[in-house]
């Protein structure tokens, strides 16, 4: 018999509404509230050993305390599966469900499933890490959601292959896997074009990207007093690449000392970037990191000084996680260095 544990909040745990959202974790034997539905649906295959209840505010404000207790109980109870929620559109509840599902899987190796309405904030935060069954906005879709959650949960417990999001009912994880189609890409392309030309409905395989923009920083108020730093993604390093910067998809950045240097010479600098033909830049590195002319402009007093270090990395456009992290690290260095503005160059 498969051992189930159910996690719910104070409301579904029949303790109270908002006024009880601060209650600390509680463990109850057997099923409570919607847990009774689980109990009914799993009859013959599994049993509900316990229900864990926690107030949404408590979980949100004292997350680690809550988890410490909850995970301790779960470890002792040794369940085969954790079902959390479903949280429908309740934000704090959704986040709590997502977090506990993620942690039981990561720390205790227990498979988990939850359910949320697609606009629940918990979805964006947890869809990559946790299976979230798509639900209605409110509890009217309880039974449907619960049966899908259990169905998927049983597959996870039995280590059976999980089907596509549309088959199983979960919100796509935003993970794309390489798979083999049964048609050549060229064939799919021609057939897609014929559909498009006939005015028939068609589907693209690569959706439009969502641009994530950042509000512009406040401009430099007094350029004459400004410290300007140079940064490049073109892989221009000291000859010999002593810091071993990767030639593509860099995982880190390198600092190149320029001090009072008037220009970058081809004897001392080279580009190790493999994504473009580097010979023009190697002939004259100032074509990528424009120290020579920037130094002239500095000497004319247009701005105060060039930061004595420039920062280098390679091709981070194609690895967003690394790009973000490297960007944050460089930003930190610039801030510490009192830099007023940065000039970035890319191929």
Whether the CB-CB separation of 272 and 247 falls below 8 Å is answered with: yes
Nearer to other proteins, 76 or 159 (CB): 159
Instruction: Name which of 278, 233, 226 is nearest 254 in CA terms.
Output: 233
CB 9 within 8 A of CB 54: yes
Question: Do the strands 227-232 and 112-116 form a parallel or antiparallel pair, or are they unpaired?
Answer: unpaired
Phi, psi of 304 (to 5 degrees): -75, -60
Which is closer to other proteins, CB of 75 or CB of 193? 193
| Residue closer to other proteins (CB basis): 22 or 327 | 327
Residue 191, both tokens: 């057939």
**From CA 314, how far away is CA 333, in angstroms rounded?**
18
CB of 71 to other proteins, least distance (A): 25
Q: What is the distance of C-alpha 79 from the center of its chain?
A: 29
Euclidean distance between CA atoms 258 and 245, whole angstroms: 18
- Would you say 59 or 170 has its CB closer to other proteins? 170
| Distance (Å, whole) CA 216 – CA 213 | 9
Q: Whose Cβ is closer to other proteins: residue 75's or residue 189's?
A: 189
Q: How far is the CB of 191 from other proteins (least distance, A)?
A: 9
Tokens of 78: 């040794």
Smallest separation (angstroms) from other proteins to the CB of 313: 7
User: Are the beta carbons of 326 and 250 closer than 8 angstroms?
Assistant: yes
Query: Which residues fall within 8 angstroms of residue 343, CB to CB, at 6 or more apart?
Result: 228, 229, 230, 231, 290, 294
Of 22 and 275, nearer to other proteins (C-beta) is 275
105 phi/psi in degrees, rounded to 5: -70, -45
Least CB distance to other proteins at residue 176 (A): 4
- Which of 342, 328, 341, 310 has its CA nearest to residue 245? 310
Residues 55, 59, 61, 66, CA torsion sign: positive
Q: How near is the Cβ of 259 to other proteins at its closest, in Å?
A: 20
Closest to other proteins by CB, 47 or 168: 168
Minimum Å distance from CB 29 to other proteins?
36
Closest approach of other proteins to the CB of residue 260, in Å: 18
230 closest CA partner among 309, 176, 175: 309
Nearer to other proteins, 41 or 248 (CB): 248
Q: Kindly report the number of other CB atoms within 10 A of residue 93's CB atom.
A: 29
Min dist. Cβ of residue 182 to other proteins (A): 7
Residue 206 or 257: the one with the smaller Cβ distance to other proteins is 206
Strand 46-54 relative to strand 2-9, pairing: parallel
CB of 324 to other proteins, least distance (A): 6
């Amino acid at each position: 018999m498969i051992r189930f544990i159910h996690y719910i909040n104070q409301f579904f745990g029949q303790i109270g509404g908002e006024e009880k959202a601060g209650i600390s974790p509680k463990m109850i034997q057997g099923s409570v509230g919607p847990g009774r539905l689980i109990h009914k649906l799993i009859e013959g295959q599994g049993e509900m050993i316990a229900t864990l209840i926690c107030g949404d505010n408590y979980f949100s404000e004292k997350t680690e305390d809550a988890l410490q207790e909850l995970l301790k109980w779960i470890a002792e109870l040794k369940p085969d599966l954790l079902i959390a929620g479903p949280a429908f559109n309740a934000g704090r509840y959704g986040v709590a469900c997502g977090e506990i599902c993620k942690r039981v899987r990561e720390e205790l190796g227990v498979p988990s499933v939850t359910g949320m309405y697609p606009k629940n904030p918990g979805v964006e935060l947890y869809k990559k890490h946790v299976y979230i069954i798509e639900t209605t906005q409110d509890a009217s879709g309880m039974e449907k959601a619960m049966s899908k959650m259990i169905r998927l949960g049983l597959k996870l417990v039995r280590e059976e292959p999980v089907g596509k999001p549309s088959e199983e009912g979960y919100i796509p994880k935003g993970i794309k896997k390489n798979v083999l189609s049964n048609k050549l890409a060229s064939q799919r392309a021609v057939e897609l074009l014929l559909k498009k030309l006939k005015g028939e409905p068609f589907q693209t395989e690569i959706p439009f990207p969502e641009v994530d923009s950042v509000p512009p920083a406040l401009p430099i108020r007094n350029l004459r007093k400004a410290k300007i730093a140079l940064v490049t993604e073109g892989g221009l390093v000291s000859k010999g690449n002593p810091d071993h910067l990767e030639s593509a998809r860099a995982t880190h950045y390198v600092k190149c000392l320029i001090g009072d240097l008037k220009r970058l010479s081809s004897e001392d600098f080279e580009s190790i970037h493999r994504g473009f033909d580097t010979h023009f830049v190697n002939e004259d590195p100032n074509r990528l990191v424009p120290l020579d002319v920037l130094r002239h402009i500095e000497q004319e007093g247009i701005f105060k000084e060039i930061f004595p270090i420039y920062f280098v990395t390679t091709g981070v456009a194609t690895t967003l996680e690394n790009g973000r992290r490297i960007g944050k690290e460089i930003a930190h260095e610039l801030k510490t260095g009192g830099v007023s503005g940065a000039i970035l160059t890319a191929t």
